[in-house]
């Protein structure tokens, strides 16, 4: 079901119409709680920003009767670049606009991400994320909750001591997570770039500051060096092999492979990127090969016992709002069970962000972040791309009435 934007806007319930203490009852055919449980004919009761009860076979009148739909927790993308956009000339713009233009592009990406059912994202990260995060948190501007690294660390970030100082500054500047580049881009072959000493300084100091670390790493050596350095989460991992996947599982390191959105988006939008930086023909050839490498890797990752695989897209310019394609492709290419894919995008993603006491699960006391899907994702995973209703923190941001004819 795809409705024209104008109609969609008319059907939206303005968030401001709902007062903070109003009780809202949302009834749905199926509720998937985010931890693996499924309820039939359930009513979720929300007061203010929290879920106050979940009733089955309730006779009460529903504020929103989502009849045939499936309600799941608001989805979480642990790796999305809200600041990436195409410019007025239709080409990828690496933050070349005025500050006002740049923040508005970020705001647009935040809006479409929320409309796609993602109520929390983690940005690995840029300076104006701080203002964006704080503006959304004020509660009027529609967007997902934002967690940001503000800046990144890489092989050029200096000596171990200099890296420690940089991590301390990130903490002072309000970073939620530290983003580290341990390997080159897939467009440059993905080899390890930072030394083990640099990685130990970055991840060790982050731990001392109470900050989590997410590490861009493609090659097995760069992943192993990051795990050995005590880093918390590995991003991408295109070349991750069985021993490397098992190592992450054994050490309890989160793994965020990106197999369904980012490369497909680059290839689809090749003309908009080509000729800028390492977006050259060689880089695109690497990315084309990356599709097959990802398909092989994700099957192995899904088959690795106890691997804590979280949902992240690496969404860049052109990809925002398509985040749920990652869930679909993990099921399609990786043979992941639909329920496991949903858990990875909800309660497990929340746990990776240390937010598992407040979001990612539909249960009493949790923030009322929930989305309704047109269909049953356990039977047809593409239902995660058909988001008809979005509530974040008890406010409704999207509500498309069910189609009367199909
Ligand atoms: Zn990224």
Q: Over the stretch 266-285, which tens digit does the pLDDT of each residue have?
A: 999 999 999 998 899 999 99
- Cα(49) to ligand 1 centroid in Å equals 31
Tokens representing 37 are: 């449980």
Scanning the structure block, which residue is given the tokens 């894919």? 341
Cis omega (within 30 of 0) on the bond before 125?
Answer: yes
Query: Which 8-state DSSP code applies to residue 123?
Result: E
Interval between CA 13 and ligand 1 midpoint (Å): 33
Nearest to 371 by CA among 15, 16, 34, 118: 118
| Ligand 1 geometric centre to CA of 388 (Å) | 28
Mean pLDDT by 10 residues, the chain (406 residues): 47 50 92 97 96 88 92 98 94 86 96 98 95 96 97 97 98 98 86 96 98 97 97 97 98 98 97 93 92 97 98 97 98 98 98 98 98 97 98 96 58
**119 with 396: CB under 8 angstroms?**
no
- Distance from residue 215's CA to the centre of ligand 1 (Å): 10
Question: Is this prediction's pTM over 0.75?
Answer: yes
* 3 state DSSP class of 137: helix
pLDDT score at 143: 98
Over pLDDT 70: what percentage of the chain?
94
Say how many Å lie between the CA of residue 287 and the centre of ligand 1: 14
Distance CA(204)–CA(247), nearest Å, equals 19
Alpha carbon of 301 to ligand 1 centroid (Å): 19
- The CA distance from 154 to 158, in Å, is 8
Considering only CA atoms, which of 29, 125, 18 is closest in space to residue 388? 29
- CA 392 / ligand 1 centre spacing (Å): 25
Question: Angle 191-197-202 (CA atoms, 0-180°, nearest 5)?
Answer: 90
Share of residues in the chain with pLDDT > 90 (%): 86
Sheet containing strand 118-123, strands side by side:
75-77, 118-123, 145-148
pLDDT digits (tens, 9 = 90+) for 172-181: 999 999 999 9
241/390 Cα distance (integer angstroms): 38
Q: Which residues surround ligand 1, an ion (CB under 5 A)?
A: 314
């Amino acid at each position: 079901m795809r409705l024209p934007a104008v109609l969609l806007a008319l059907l939206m319930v303005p968030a401001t119409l709902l007062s903070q203490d109003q009780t809202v009852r949302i009834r749905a055919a199926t509720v998937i709680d985010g931890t693996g449980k499924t309820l039939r004919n359930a009513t979720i009761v929300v007061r203010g920003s929290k879920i106050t009860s979940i009733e089955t076979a309730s006779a009460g009148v529903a504020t929103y009767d989502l009849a045939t739909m499936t309600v799941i927790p608001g989805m979480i993308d642990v790796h999305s670049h809200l600041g990436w956009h195409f410019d007025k000339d239709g080409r990828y713009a690496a933050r070349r606009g005025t500050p006002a233009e740049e923040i508005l592009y970020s705001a647009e990406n935040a809006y479409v991400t929320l409309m796609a059912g993602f109520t929390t994202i983690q940005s690995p990260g840029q300076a104006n994320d701080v203002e964006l995060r704080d503006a959304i948190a004020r509660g009027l501007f529609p967007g997902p909750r934002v967690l940001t690294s503000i800046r990144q660390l890489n092989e050029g970030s200096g000596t171990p001591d200099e890296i420690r100082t940089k991590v301390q500054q990130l903490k002072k500047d309000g970073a939620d997570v530290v983003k580290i580049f341990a390997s080159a881009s897939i467009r440059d072959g993905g080899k390890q770039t930072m030394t083990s000493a640099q990685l130990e300084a970055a991840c060790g100091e982050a731990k001392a500051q109470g900050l989590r670390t997410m590490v861009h790493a493609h090659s097995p050596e760069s992943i192993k060096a990051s795990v050995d350095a005590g880093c918390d989460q590995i991003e991408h991992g295109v070349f991750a092999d069985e021993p490397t996947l098992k190592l992450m599982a054994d050490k309890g390191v989160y793994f965020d492979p990106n197999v369904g959105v980012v490369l497909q988006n680059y290839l689809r939008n090749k003309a908009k990127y080509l000729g800028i930086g390492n977006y050259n023909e060689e880089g695109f050839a690497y990315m084309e090969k990356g599709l097959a490498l990802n398909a092989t890797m994700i099957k192995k990752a899904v088959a690795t016992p106890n691997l804590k695989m979280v949902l992240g897209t690496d969404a860049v310019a052109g990809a925002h709002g398509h985040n749920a394609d990652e869930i679909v492709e993990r099921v399609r290419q990786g043979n992941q069970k639909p329920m496991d894919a949903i858990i990875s995008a909800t309660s497990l993603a929340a746990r990776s962000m240390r937010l598992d006491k407040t979001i990612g699960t539909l249960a009493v006391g949790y923030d009322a972040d929930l989305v309704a899907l047109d269909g049953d994702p356990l039977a047809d995973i593409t239902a995660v791309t058909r988001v008809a209703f979005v509530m974040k923190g008890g406010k409704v941001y999207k509500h498309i009435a069910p189609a009367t004819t199909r």
